[in-house]
């Protein structure tokens, strides 16, 4: 993957990406990408489905799943397995890490420059070919901490 996607894309931009990826630039794909790209909460397939439905009432959850899988294979989105129950997705391809609340399951981004500068220990090179590395920091977000203390 290589095609650079600006943060706000038009249907024409999307069409261009689809052409280079040999994908049909359908209405559904465009809306799913646009919705994910404008989200900051790392939605699940179901969450995304609900949002896309407001613009494309006829869209199906299966299409959302299939489209997300396609996008992931083409490297324009990333799947986040912070929690075991459902996959979460992210269209932000810049290097960043995630904070995940184990109570409300909110996920948010943060940058960790010191980490990004680190090199993997040499031994990992003997294991195979590294393709990605990701930190997930878990805890309780402020809002859940408040609820906890007032309970």
Q: Which residues bind a copy of itself (CB under 8 A)?
A: 1-3, 79, 81-84, 87, 99, 101-102, 108, 110-115, 118-121, 123-124, 126-145
- Per-residue DSSP letter, 44: B
Q: Is 12 in the site for DNA (CB under 7 A)?
A: no
Q: 24 is in the binding site of which of a copy of itself, DNA, none (Cβ under 5 to 8 A by kind)?
A: DNA
Q: Specify the length of the chain in residues.
A: 151
> Distance between CA atoms of 79 and 122, rounded to whole angstroms?
27
The residue (of 15 and 96) whose beta carbon lies closer to a copy of itself is: 96
Nearest approach in angstroms of CB 20 to a copy of itself is 24
Decide if 80 contacts 90 (C-beta within 8 A).
Answer: yes
Decide if 93 contacts 103 (C-beta within 8 A).
Answer: no
Residue whose token pair is 């989200």 = 39
Those residues whose C-beta lies under 8 Å from the C-beta of residue 139, and which sit 6 or more positions away, are 99, 100, 101, 102
| Contacts with DNA, 24-63, as mask; x by CB under 7 A | xxxxxx--------------xxx---------x-xxxxxx
Q: 23 is in the binding site of which of a copy of itself, DNA, none (Cβ under 5 to 8 A by kind)?
A: DNA
Site for DNA in 64-123 (CB under 7 A): 65-67, 69, 84-87
The residue (of 18 and 64) whose beta carbon lies closer to a copy of itself is: 64
Decide if 24 contacts 17 (C-beta within 8 A).
Answer: no
């Amino acid at each position: 993957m290589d095609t650079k996607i600006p943060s706000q894309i038009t249907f024409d931009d999307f069409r261009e990406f689809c052409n280079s990826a040999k994908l049909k630039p359908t209405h559904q794909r465009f809306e799913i990408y646009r919705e994910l790209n404008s989200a900051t909460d790392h939605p699940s397939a179901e969450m995304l489905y609900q949002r896309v439905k407001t613009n494309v009432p006829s869209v199906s959850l299966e299409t959302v799943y299939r489209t997300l899988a396609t996008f992931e294979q083409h490297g324009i989105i990333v799947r986040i397995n912070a929690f075991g129950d459902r996959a979460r997705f992210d269209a932000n391809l810049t290097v960043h890490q995630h904070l995940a609340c184990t109570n409300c399951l909110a996920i948010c981004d943060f940058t960790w420059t010191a980490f990004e500068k680190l090199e993997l220990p040499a031994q990992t090179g003997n294991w195979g070919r590294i393709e990605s590395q990701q930190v997930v920091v878990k805890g309780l977000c402020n809002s859940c901490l408040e609820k906890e203390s007032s309970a």
